[in-house]
Structure 1
Amino acid sequence: MTTTSTPAPPRIALHRDRLLPAEPATRGIARELYAAVRDLPIVSPHGHVPAQWLADDVPFPDPTALLITPDHYLTRLLHARGVPLADLGVGVADPTSAQSRAAFRLLCRHWPVFRGTPVKLWLEQVLVEVLGVDLVPSDDTADDLYDAIAERVADRGFRPRALYDRFGIDVLATTDDPCDDLAHHAALRDDPGWHGRVVPTFRPDRYLEAGLPGWADRVDALGEAAGVDTGSLAGWVDAMERRRAHFAEHGAVSADHGHRDAVMAPLDAAEGERLYARARAGHATPAEAETLRRGLLFEMARMSADDGLVMTLHPGVSRDHHAPSRERLGTDIGADIPVAAEFTEALRPVLHAFGTHPRFRLVVFTIDETTFSRELAPLAGFYPSLYVGAPWWFLDAPDAMDRYRAAVTETAGFAKTSGFVDDTRAYLSIPARHDASRRADAAYLARLVADHRLTLDEAHETARDLVTTIPREAFRL
């Protein structure tokens, strides 16, 4: 009698040379370069992990809350295959354990969706190297994976502070509302048992967009937080300056801005007050609200030149493109869609005013990669204040990283770039994302060495600089 054994479930095998060149000689160079930077500390100057996680240091609730719900890279791809976002925990305030397990099953069932995407690279590395599980996600393995991960995250070694140390994070930037009292940052700063560095980032977009509902109420709240009257444009400026100072006192090094376009244009004082008053009264036309926003953004640049907070700008995104999903589930759910961006003329007024100012620093990110070689690299190749931000959102895949280096390096060099930014709410993916960047840069540098455009010593120095020196300089860390 013949018995048929059940085949063993497939396992994830992380190839040691993933993302490195296939050509043997170049791959050997890339291996050497990657090995030299693999274990260097992580500098994360732009991200969205809440400071509260580290301040409170409580266990993560379950595998879904840890891996799926906060990661809109992941949820958007599942949604594109017909999985409702709410079924993944998005916009669900307090999911039950059954709902969380069901969401994890959806991820496993749709695992082939991620083939060829950076999400697969990151998540596989998280599963194997962080969580110590190597089953390939599928319908058959979903519950076993869920139970194994749930057991891991219940351990004290998987609390946020322990992971911060394990990941080798040197500095971690959060993203914070101007009205935030930064109590969690203060708690970390004053905690004798905490030795990491977590810095807030000033994110004032909601207070510049006068055409959005609720703007006047938000401006009132800003005035209350700052202790000034924001009934006038002058009051708004005063309030912003006070809140920026509050952030700087709590360790902030940058102010982050994301609007549909990159235009910053100064307003005549009288015209600015007129537009501000119309917006306060709810009478501003869309064109007037846009003009006001561009003037307010110019004011933010002027403040950066005064107080030294690095100004980061990432325009060219249509936010929350699907209005029904936004109304049901809120913002930041993965429905941001790129639009064409223009920089040369848009940035001319601010660069005329502050482009050579010794305290002004502007790091410009884009999702429109056609602008890297045409506009951003030439601008960074002339203006000392302007740096080209790393590929982010739709461009932080390995092929896009390679195109970025090829487009930018010839004109601006390596030193006028930002270093990698992980831009993530998915805490466990931080080391995987930085690792992918280090591998991609090692591959690019190896090709330069193989082509005799760099010496091996120069490539080693550049690889280290891209991980440590360059992001520290760009963000004044």
Structure 2
Amino acid sequence: MTQPAHLHPDRLFPSAEPARGIARELYAEVADLPLICPHGHTDPSWFAENGRFSNPAALFLTPDHYVLRMLRSRGLSYDDLGVPRKDGKPVAEGRAAWRLLAANYHLFAGTPSKTWVDHSLHWAFGITDELSPETADRIYDTIDAALATPELLPHAILDRARVEVIATTEFALDPLVHHQKMESAGTIGRVRTTYRPDDVTDPSRPAIVDNLKRFGELTGEDITRWEGLINAHRKRREYFRRFGAVATDHGVPTANTADLPLVEKQALLDRILAGRHDANDAELFRAQMLTEMALLSVDDGMVMQIHAGSRRNTDPLLFTERGPDLGADIPGTTDYVGGLKALLSRCGNEPNLRIIMFVLDETTYARELAPMAGYWPSLMIGPPWWFHDSPQGIRRYLDQVVETAGFYNLAGFNDDTRALLSIPARHDVWRREVAGFLANWVAEHRLTRSSASDIARHLSYQAAKDAYRIS
């Protein structure tokens, strides 16, 4: 019987010797290192409650927008895939949704989603059979039985995956009830939060006025005054740090920043609170708030992540029926050089500032991100993200950024996922691709074998700890 591709020990390694042999050796040195997961979107209730996952579909299908969007592209209904609706109308039960996934699993050939699912099925459940209509029920029952055991509870999964640190991401108005529970249980530190203020910094959100009012009530600040608004952020950042936060996160359509005089900032805020802002005002407010967040990071040391370039929730029907972040997001072009000019001019030389740049526009790797990180001490390049955290995406990334930025201006790897079991799969792909990339350079006598070993360990583990200032 042919060995499944995802179980082959040389998967993703260079095809030719001696590079393939060197890649094997480098990978062996990093394969079992602990995982640092400083940014992601796993549900904090999983870690606060440590309860069992309800069924296999809830683990592999409904939280994974990568999987959902592919099935949607072939005309499958989110109702039939079991994705909850805002109106509470019934959707498919777990087994029915799972069978539908299995019947269409061939659609994922060549995609990273298949790599992650196959890896997860084997890693967590010992399953080597391909998911298909014939194996669907047997695999479902195997997973379902395992989910009832202590070994598949969330904390046990973190232990098995050797997760040293994992960060969830919460909005500014989030009460952090799950993190409060973890604080009481003494698990804050391993599981941390991240401050994402988009709910009060993005005026394109329909509820922005109400959100800002709630923000003022939550912090006791007068957010109708610009100074009060910034003080409100200062207080919430401090609150988030109580629950382990070391970073902020900003999901913005562009990387534009601004540095307006106070009178113009106040006038902009007045228009937004009055509901009289337009799209240009929304962009300007987001731009100014990125600069304000950088200035706050200069004060408190929180690492600033800028996730730019996604045109989010482009399907209004899906958004209305079920909410955000379910697959209808498309990359856009990004200008980091012009976009960050105002911010960097204001505080780019501050020694306490660290900004990690994430981009979906791969044309910026060699032209913008690598030269910027190769000069500004406050800038680092985030790993390939979202549509590009794939084997080919990682190869394109390393090929384009390393020659200008070097290895030590890279922030290591973030899994950035909502699917818990895909975390070890994603890190494994990263480590294999790093090993393969370095092996080729050793074979070409561009790196010594000992340097490659040091760099592989750095990019697989230490880089993320250093970038996010995790002690």
State the TM-score, normalizing by the size of structure 2: 0.96
**Residue in 2 that maps onto 1:232:** 225
Q: How large is the Cα RMSD of the aligned pairs?
A: 1.8
In the comparison of the two structures, how many residue pairs are matched?
A: 469
1:263 aligned residue (248, 253, 256): 256
Which secondary structure does the structure 1 equivalent of 2:308 belong to? coil
SS in 1 for 2:217: helix
**Cα distance in structure 2, aligned partners of 1:268 and 1:98:** 54
Match of 1:5 in 2: none
Which residue does the alignment assign to 2:245? 252
- Quick one: which of 111, 122, 136 aligns to 2:130? 136
Q: CA deviation at 1:393?
A: 0.6
The one of 12, 22, 26 equivalent to 1:29 is: 22
Aligned counterpart, 2:305 = 312
Contact 1:211 1:284 survives alignment (8 Å)? no
- CA–CA distance in structure 1, aligned partners of residues 427 and 225 of structure 2: 44
1:13-412 mapped onto 2 (5 Å cutoff): 14-92=7-85, 99-192=93-186, 194=187, 197-412=190-405
State the distance in 1 between where 2:456 and 2:279 align.
46
Q: For the residues of structure 2 that align with 1:178 and 1:450, how far apart are their CA atoms?
A: 49
Q: Answer yes or no: is 1:470 the counterpart of 2:446.
A: no
> Which residue of structure 1 lines up, in the alignment, with residue 428 of structure 2?
435
- Partner secondary structure for residue 461 of structure 1: helix
Say whether the 8 Å CA contact 1:320–1:336 is kept in structure 2.
yes
AA at the equivalent of 1:432 = A
| Further displaced range: 32-41 or 132-141 | 132-141
**Aligned pair in 2 of structure 1 residues 96, 147: CA closer, same or farther (>3 Å)?**
farther
Distance across 1 between alignment mates of 2:385 and 2:126:
28
Question: What code does the residue aligned with 2:252 have?
Answer: H
Q: What letter is aligned with 1:179? A: L
**Secondary structure class of the residue paired with 1:257:** strand
1:348 is matched by which residue type in structure 2?
K
Q: 1:96 to 1:139 in 2, by over 3 A?
A: farther
Distance 2:314 2:91 in 1: 31
Shift of 1:12: 7.1
Q: What code does the residue aligned with 1:212 have?
A: R
Answer yes or no: is the 8 Å Cα contact 1:152–1:158 preserved in 2.
Answer: yes
The percent of aligned pairs where both chains have the same amino acid is 42
Q: Which amino acid aligns with 2:66?
A: Y
How has the CA–CA distance of structure 1 residues 433 and 163 changed in structure 2, closer, same or farther, with 3 Å as cutoff? same
Distance 2:395 2:310 in 1: 22
Q: For residue 210 of structure 1, report the CA deviation from its aligned partner.
A: 1.7
Within 1, Cα distance between the matches of 2:33 and 2:400? 26
For 1:462 and 1:12, locate their aligned partners in 2 and report how far apart those are by CA, in whole Å.
Answer: 27
Amino acid at match of 1:360: L
Determine the C-alpha separation between the residues in 1 that align with 2:249 and 2:91. 36
Q: Deviations over 1:67-89 (max 9, x none)?
A: 11001111111111111123222
Ranges in structure 1 where 5+ consecutive residues have no aligned partner: 1-7
Deviation at 1:98, TM superposition (A): 6.1
TM-score (normalizing by structure 1) = 0.95
1:448 aligns with 2:448: no
Measured in 1, the distance between the counterparts of 2:84 and 2:214 equals 24
Q: In the alignment, is the contact (CA less than 8 A) between 2:412 and 2:464 conserved in 1? A: yes
Deviations 1:180-227 (A, max 9, x none): 2323223223325x4861111000112111233110100111112212
Cα separation, 1, equivalents of 2:126 and 2:220: 50
| Matching residue's letter, 2:182 | L
Give the superposition deviation at 1:97. Answer: 10
Change (3 A) 1:83 1:21: same
Match of 1:314, SS state, is strand
What is the aligned partner in structure 2 of residue 425 from structure 1? 418
Structure 1 residues 10 and 385: alpha-carbon distance in aligned structure 2, compared to 1, 3 A threshold: closer
Q: Does the 8 Å CA contact 1:30/1:442 hold for their aligned counterparts?
A: yes
Deviates more, 1:360-369 or 1:208-217: 208-217
Unpaired runs of at least 5, structure 2: none
Deviations 1:247-303 (Å, cap 9, x if unpaired)? 112210000001111011012111111111111111112212222221122111111
